[in-house]
Structure 1
């Protein structure tokens, strides 16, 4: 009886360890799995790489750093970094940190950093600093996006010339033809007031257009620009991608989109899944950073 009990324990223990605990899986647009070495090789062929993220997902942030490190080597150091999480009017302070003129505390005191900056974005900034790479603060200052949401996009015309340098050149085209914006309108509900809906969408548009312009201004021949942004800003080839495409349709751009899944094998989701060139599937119960 004792031997039978031990045998059952061993079988159970073996079955437990035979489980495949997957932290992430990359797929291409056709649903085929992609190994990270092939991913890096292909990313190196593009002018712009959008790495869409779920802001609070730890594995996405870890992969952003690892992909950036590998791409830096593959591109023979020809890399520029940029992020939604840093705003245009803070570029000089960011440059001061990258160049060693100010320390991490001074940066924190002088720049509007996200609450999860230390855990999720500082490693990327520090990588750029250690390798002497440019890191571009691409986003519109949040007060102007907030102003647009409240007062409409026309209110930006009243800004000073200095303030206008922190946003994309006016006028900014806002259209529901942009992928994702129709979805935003639907999320607002059919009873939402038309003006409020368009103000909300316009606030998204000024962010996307400003980030697009920031990337275009900082592109350098032979260098790949990798941009970290919330998934929504590049999903379905909309947002930033769409605005860049309007300005320069000849640029080679690629999007990595992130999706959560409850499937332990991290198969391609059956619902709410519209793939881009590369698609990162991660467990829905992955540790969150906030």
Structure 2
């Protein structure tokens, strides 16, 4: 009886020992597993790289930092960084911090930083600071996106010339043919008022169009622009990607999309999976930062 009990314990131990705990897995557009070395080598050939994220995913943010470090090394520092999480009118404060003329507390007090800045975005900004790499505040100030959602895109025409420098050049084209926008319309339901629906979609569009314009204004020949944004802003080659392609169709752009999975082996999801150039699959139960 004692031997049987020991055998059961040993078999259980072996099962636990044999199980692997994967933290992430990259796939290419065809569904083939991609290692990080190959990923970096391929990303180095692009003009723009969108690294989508789930805003509260710890592994997502860690990978953004590690991929950025590796890509900077691969390209000998020939990169420009930018992010949705920083708004255009906060560029002066961000520049002062990058130049060492402003400390972290003053930056926090003077710029509209996201609540998870310290844990999720400060490491990227500090890396740029240490390596003297430009970091661009690409997004429209949230007050203008809020205005559009309430009053419509046309309301921006009444702003001052200075205010308009913080957003994409008007008028901004808004179409439900853009990947993702028709999905937003469906989310609001069939009974929602058409005007409210289009205001909601237009608020997303002014963000995407502004980020696209910010990237195009800061592109430098031979450098790769790495942009960090919520997955929704670039998934299915929509959002920011779509707006850039309207102006620069020949620009070489890569999109890294992110998907969560309950599968411990992190295989390509069977549902709701529309791949882009590179696709990051992460555990659904990965630690969240908020």
TM range (shorter): over 0.9
The corresponding residue for 2:100 is 100
Deviations 1:4-27 (A, max 9, x none): 322221221111011011110001
User: Is structure 2 residue 142 aligned with structure 1 residue 133?
Assistant: no
The corresponding residue for 1:78 is 78
Q: Please report how far the alpha carbon of residue 240 of structure 1 lies from its aligned counterpart in structure 2 after TM superposition.
A: 0.2
User: Is structure 2 residue 16 aligned with structure 1 residue 16?
Assistant: yes
Report which stretch shifted further, 133-142 or 169-178: 169-178
User: Is structure 2 residue 192 aligned with structure 1 residue 183?
Assistant: no
The corresponding residue for 2:5 is 5
The corresponding residue for 1:114 is 114
Indicate the RMSD between aligned Cα atoms, in angstroms. Answer: 0.6
Partner SS state of residue 52, structure 2? strand
Identify unmatched segments of 5+ residues in structure 1.
Answer: none
The corresponding residue for 1:30 is 30
Partner SS state of residue 85, structure 2? strand
Q: Please report how far the alpha carbon of residue 250 of structure 1 lies from its aligned counterpart in structure 2 after TM superposition.
A: 1.0
The corresponding residue for 1:87 is 87
Q: Distance in 2 between matches of 1:267 and 1:32?
A: 10
The corresponding residue for 1:254 is 254
Partner SS state of residue 85, structure 1? strand
Deviations 1:5-55 (A, max 9, x none): 222212211110110111100011111100000000000000000000000
Partner SS state of residue 21, structure 1? coil
The corresponding residue for 1:223 is 223
Q: Distance in 2 between matches of 1:219 and 1:272?
A: 33
Q: Distance in 2 between matches of 1:146 and 1:207?
A: 10
The corresponding residue for 1:67 is 67
Q: Distance in 1 between matches of 2:131 and 2:210?
A: 26
How many residue pairs were aligned? 290
Deviations 1:168-227 (A, max 9, x none): 001111111111111110111000000000000000000000000000000000000000
Deviations 1:49-94 (A, max 9, x none): 0000000010000000000000000111101100000000000000
The corresponding residue for 2:174 is 174
The corresponding residue for 2:45 is 45
Identify unmatched segments of 5+ residues in structure 2.
Answer: none
Q: Please report how far the alpha carbon of residue 3 of structure 1 lies from its aligned counterpart in structure 2 after TM superposition.
A: 2.9
The corresponding residue for 2:206 is 206
Q: Distance in 1 between matches of 2:41 and 2:122?
A: 25
Q: What's the TM-score once normalised by structure 1's chain length?
A: 0.99
The corresponding residue for 1:162 is 162
